[in-house]
Amino acid sequence: MAFYEYNVLVFVVVVAGVAYLQHRRDRKAAAAKVQGQGQGQGHDSEAARATITAGNAVIWQFKKKFLPAYLLAFGSDWLQGPYIYTMYKDEKGLPEETVAHLFTTGFLAAAMSASFVGSLADRYGRRSACLFFCVAYGVSCFTVLFDSIFILFAGRILGGLSTTLLWSVVESWMVTEFHRQHLEEAGSLSDMFGIMTTLNGFVAILAGLFAQQIADFTKTQAAPFMAAVVLLILAFGFISSRWSENYGDSHNSNVDGLLPASEEKDKNGLQYIIQGRKHGQSSEDITERFGLDKRLWALCMTSSCFEGSMYLWIFFKFSALKLSHEAAGQESELPFGMIFAALMCAMMLGSLFFTYYSSLATSRWVVSPSRLLTITLFVASACFILPVLVHNEAVTFWSFCVFEICCGIYFPSIARLKEKMVEDGVRAKIYGILRIPLNIFVVLGLMTTKDGKSHPNSPSLLAGAKLS
């Protein structure tokens, strides 16, 4: 198993080196900004430095408020990642079709809940929705302690609901609060999204390694799920004590500086995407609005294909590696936690690249965000097709690593595009609606699942074709 350990070590060294170079570049950029503002203010560099320092302090306070809860919430999810498949399949001895049905149930629950949880969060508060997420996901984790198939399915239903909340409401709270405090005057949301993805990858690495250690120590794969409950309790404490509440247009009062409910407050998320919000009667406004609607539809289809393929890959990645491992004549067990850590290092590398690339706005080599996303999707599709054509454990693993690099670029890119296209008043509602076709995509993919050594190739080809 030295192969995977060496790969983790190489990734850690590369990511640390890139992070250090990024830090040095940021310091130089800050120094240049101080000097530039000082010249613009009659060489008053002290005043310029004070202005920039004050802005950085405000951003830093916002990060201290948001990032701990954000990372704890996602850390609880990452702890479950390496063992959720193998626990059902190996420890509980369930047939692969039953495991697929469990996963399908979770995604169906996510699709159904996506139609209303965002609206409820906008109406009753996104902070309250995040607190509910902590409770619901904690109960979902506890269900793995039981062998009853009914309890396991109930756990997947709660897990699907919780996943929708995690991927829609948490980010909605952050973006709206960022705008409410006018932090764009002191920092960039692109940088914020890049930092979120990078730190999320770092937490995922630690979670993968810790999940393997605690599972080996306790001799049960349910242990990482109990550790996730601890993180959810901590996240609940951070959110309840540090976050303020914010609402959408569907709330009936002017809360936290947001606009009061609009005349279209009862319009659901799907109607918003189809019809748009009326800005006026002129043809220019209507044309502009239809353009926005087209972009929302494109965003919806892009996120459905990429993230749907990613979830199918999550379901089959370990089984695909196991097949390649066995085909090479190896009988030892794969170190799932170590593999998970390597993949998360690759995702961090992608997010660091996005952060650096976003800072090169004035460079003639920089392409538009949509073009960068297109290139990322093309490379990601090749990562799925190659392991099907070349049956080799190392090739399969490295293809998966490159796909994770694409994930590190994709998530901050798509988050930035959503932030620009969706209004704060309906942000949680739209973010939830955008996940409906994603979950339907995954359900249709999982419906093709059955026992068999060659079958994991089919979802890989499906995912590659959809991304292309």
**What's the burial of 293, exposed, middle or buried (CB within 10 Å: 0-12/13-18/19+)?**
middle
pLDDT single digits (tens) 260-272: 344 444 455 555 5
The pLDDT, as a whole number, for residue 1 is: 52
Say if CB 193 and CB 350 are below 8 A apart.
Answer: no
Report the chain's mean pLDDT, rounded to a whole number. Answer: 79
The pLDDT, as a whole number, for residue 416 is: 84
The pLDDT, as a whole number, for residue 262 is: 44
Report the alpha-carbon distance of residue 309 to residue 300 in Å, rounded.
Answer: 14
The pLDDT, as a whole number, for residue 423 is: 80
22-27: long-range contacts at Cβ-Cβ below 8 A with a sequence spacing of 24 or more? 22/352, 22/355, 22/356, 25/356, 25/359
What is the average pLDDT across 200-217?
A: 85
Quote the pTM value: 0.76
Per-residue pLDDT band for 468 (boundaries 50, 70, 90) equals very low
Q: Where are the domains of the chain?
A: 64-246+312-447
The pLDDT, as a whole number, for residue 137 is: 97
**What's the burial of 68, exposed, middle or buried (CB within 10 Å: 0-12/13-18/19+)?**
middle
The number of angstroms, rounded, from the C-alpha of 220 to the middle of its chain's C-alpha atoms is 28
Per-residue pLDDT band for 353 (boundaries 50, 70, 90) equals confident
What is the average pLDDT across 94-99?
A: 85
What is the average pLDDT across 115-135?
A: 92
Domain 64-246+312-447: CATH superfamily, name plus number: MFS general substrate transporter like domains (1.20.1250.20)
